[in-house]
Amino acid sequence: MTGKHPADSVCIMTDIVLPGETNPLNNLFGGELLARMDRAASIAARRHSGYIVVTASVNHVAFNRSIPLGSVVTIEAKVSRTFNSSMETFIDVWIEDRTSGERTKANEAIYTFVAVDEAGNPVKVLPLIPQTELEIQRYEAALRRRQLSLVLAGKMNPHDATELKALFV
């Protein structure tokens, strides 16, 4: 079974923050950002798998910087690792300075999707072949994140978490 590269799945969405999408402080609602990230990440997961995808979990969200009204927001999502039917996607959120055009990383998130057939049954997805140093780092970290999630959910014995043994032994 051959695989795909993260670049094959990348989804880049750029939009502007409008008044109806902001809170009383004139910053983008967190829920609005979550929805935008979910859309971009699901497109990336679908591009990788070729199947319908459903959001399985939001593993991590960091609201490091508020996004003010009128900001140009770019969301970049790509698959960071695949497992059997699931795919972890890493999302970077950038804001663009209105004057200089300089981009600043504002937020990031990690979502997991499951590829399903038309009946909603999970289907196997192609492996991911990371290429860049960052893609390799995210790929390797994804297994640790997955094992930690499974241990915390009681679905994996800590002694079986090969990537986490140093934490539990």
Q: Indicate whether 149 belongs to any domain.
A: no
pLDDT confidence tier of residue 159, bands split at 50, 70 and 90? confident
CATH number of the domain to which 109 belongs: 3.10.129.10
Alpha-carbon gap, residue 34 to 73, rounded angstroms: 13
CB 11 within 8 A of CB 40: yes
Which amino acid makes up residue 48? H
Kindly state the tokens that stand for 130: 């990371």
pTM above 0.85? yes
Show Cβ contacts of residue 92 under 8 Å, excluding neighbours closer than 6 positions: 75, 76, 77, 105, 107, 108
In a domain, 95, yes or no: yes
Per-residue pLDDT tens over the stretch 16-74: 999 999 999 999 999 999 999 999 999 999 999 999 999 999 989 999 999 999 999 99
For residue 123, the enclosing domain spans: 6-130
